[in-house]
Amino acid sequence: MFDAVIFDWDGTLADTEHLIVNSFQKVLREIGCEVSDEFIERRIGVGPKNILIDALKATNIPFDDGMIDKLMEKKIAIHEKLTENVNLFEGAVNLLDDLHGKVRMALATMSNRRIINKILDEKEVREYFDVVITFDEVLRPKPNPEIFLKCAMELKCIPEKCVVVEDSIFGIKAAKEAKMKCIAIPSGAYSIEDLRRENPDLTVNSISEREKILSFILGR
């Protein structure tokens, strides 16, 4: 049995991909930066700043830190207006309910603090998480393990007794680097084959496969 479970948010607990893509595209198109939706989808999880930088580099648009900061603020403002359209995946709340009180739980997301705070309150799921760490609180985004190690430290759990639930290859890489176990769910931009290539400890088809997930976490 594990002492703690660390959940990713976007694409793992919540179906947010279309909202993330839309908010980035609105900001990027304002400055003539044209990238495909897939370009953005495949980078969800590395942090919004890095997505913007990658897009500008890919389209040869010069930028500096000030420009990135302005684009970030515009992106956050657009995203905040769309949060009411966020839906949790079927089975997500049931899984959180089943784990609540049995293990400690954290949320480790590359989303902005303002956005995730708003969504957690709107969806009434904040109570499930003992710790919430966002993009704003780390220096190095996934696949660097910093966000997961920070969760473990705040949960007062050793990494080896933590299990991460993720939907991206970046998250799996980060979990492995942190010496944590990882459950992979292909509910985001990556296929089950993509995820399995990163050697997660358990792969399920969806978060609604509760018994399989609970058995792994609780050692049933």
Which of these ranges, 43-52, 104-113, 128-137, 179-188, has the smallest mean pLDDT? 43-52
pLDDT digits (tens, 9 = 90+) for 69-83: 999 999 999 999 988
pLDDT digits (tens, 9 = 90+) for 8-34: 999 999 999 999 999 999 999 999 999
- Give the span between the Cα atoms of 209 and 216, in whole angstroms: 11
- Give the span between the Cα atoms of 214 and 217, in whole angstroms: 5
pLDDT digits (tens, 9 = 90+) for 147-199: 999 999 999 999 999 999 999 999 999 999 999 999 999 998 899 999 999 99
Residue type, 124: E
For the chain, list the domains and their CATH numbers.
Answer: 4-15+86-218 (3.40.50.1000), 17-84 (1.10.150)
pLDDT digits (tens, 9 = 90+) for 116-132: 999 999 999 999 999 99
Residue 135 corresponds to which tokens in the numbers above? 């993009």
What number of residues does the chain have?
220
The residue assigned the tokens 């760490």 is 133
Query: Which residues, at least 6 apart from 200, have a Cβ–Cβ distance to it below 8 Å?
Result: 166, 172, 175, 182, 183, 184
* pLDDT beyond 80 at 220: no
